[in-house]
Amino acid sequence: MRHGVRTGLTVGVALTALLATGCSGSDGDAEAKPAYDTKTKTQRIGTAGSVCALPVTFDLPADWKSDNVSAEVQQLTTVGLAEMSCELDARHGGTTGFIRVFTDQSRSSTPRFALERFVSESKLQKRKNVEYRDTKAGPYEAVEVSYEGHNETWGAQQKETHLAFKSPKGLLVFDIDALDPIDHDALLPELDRIKDTLKGV
């Protein structure tokens, strides 16, 4: 169910980006534009009374479908102390993949510890390029991990990305789940949209 490595800029691409910004010594760097399309019509996920009521809310494209998770599915998908609470389906938006939201109500877990459990319990074999990064999710300090490995069931290489942070109402983990690395990479901008638009409730 669960289961990325962001491709780093090559020297050539980095040099091109540097030349594009110029070297005029202006007051500051140009403001970075988000990777996601800001003109996309969106919906608010996580609101009280919605299918996926969560301790946070955030934006996703309006054509994505959200669904809560049954107790039976939670038992099968629990990672450490994190239980799947919501499934966000990107297939109606043209990408074969999901972003799944896990919640951990324990007081002892930290974002880094939760992500380490996701990596260690991953079904991917020969995991490599495991990279942890500090980031922000709305107002919260967060940690993100990406890696890749071999999916023996499908006989193919697969990417994984997970984001974790602690809100006043519990720890959350967002998991990109896509079998095809191309679909996985297509979902990364939407994870950025979540981070940029996320608010506590």
pLDDT in tens, 160-197: 999 999 999 999 999 999 999 999 999 999 999 999 99
Structure tokens of 174?
């967002």
CA-based nearest residue to 149, from 161, 160, 135, 140: 160
Which DSSP letter does residue 79 get? B
User: H or E stretch including 149?
Assistant: strand 140-151
C-alpha of 3 from chain center: 11
Q: Identify whether the C-beta of residue 69 lies closer than 8 Å to the C-beta of residue 85.
A: yes
Domain boundaries, the chain: 41-200
CA-based nearest residue to 162, from 175, 149, 143, 178: 175
Instruction: Please give the model's pTM, rounded to 2 decimal places.
Output: 0.82
CA angle 17, 18, 19 (to 5 degrees): 95
pLDDT in tens, 62-99: 999 999 888 888 878 899 889 999 999 999 888 999 99
| Superfamily, domain 41-200 | Mog1/PsbP, alpha/beta/alpha sandwich (3.40.1000.10)
User: H or E stretch including 57?
Assistant: strand 56-61
